[in-house]
């Protein structure tokens, strides 16, 4: 994943947050990732892989609305941290 792709995805998220007034989820998700790393390193690696291989490229390409993509990432983290459905 290139820095240009990450920068483009970040810019699109910032624009979406500004337009919607929504709170930036990244700090909260970073904290969940720290928890996940301690609890289940394999799921942590999967979450990082998802971020690099799916979330950033999809947002940067404009194929998915940034807030939807980040909400889906949050769902993935929640499911990784909690048992059951």
Query: What is this structure's pTM?
Result: 0.90
Question: By three-state DSSP, how is residue 74 classified?
Answer: helix
Distances from the Cα of 74 to the Cα of 3, 4, 7, angstroms: 22, 23, 20
Neighbours of 16 (CB within 10 A): 17
- The pair of structure tokens assigned to 3 is 């820095």
pLDDT of 1 reads: 57
pLDDT of 56 reads: 97
Among 3-7, 50-54, 68-72, 81-85, which is the least confidently predicted range?
81-85
Neighbours of 44 (CB within 10 A): 19
pLDDT of 2 reads: 80
């Amino acid at each position: 994943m290139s820095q240009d792709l990450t920068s483009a995805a970040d810019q699109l998220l910032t624009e979406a947050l500004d337009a919607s007034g929504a709170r930036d989820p990244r700090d909260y998700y970073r904290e969940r990732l720290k928890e996940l790393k301690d609890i289940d390193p394999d799921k942590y690696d999967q979450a990082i892989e998802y971020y690099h291989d799916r979330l950033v490229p999809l947002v940067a390409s404009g194929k998915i609305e940034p807030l939807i993509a980040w909400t889906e990432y949050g769902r993935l983290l929640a499911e990784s941290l909690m048992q059951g459905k």
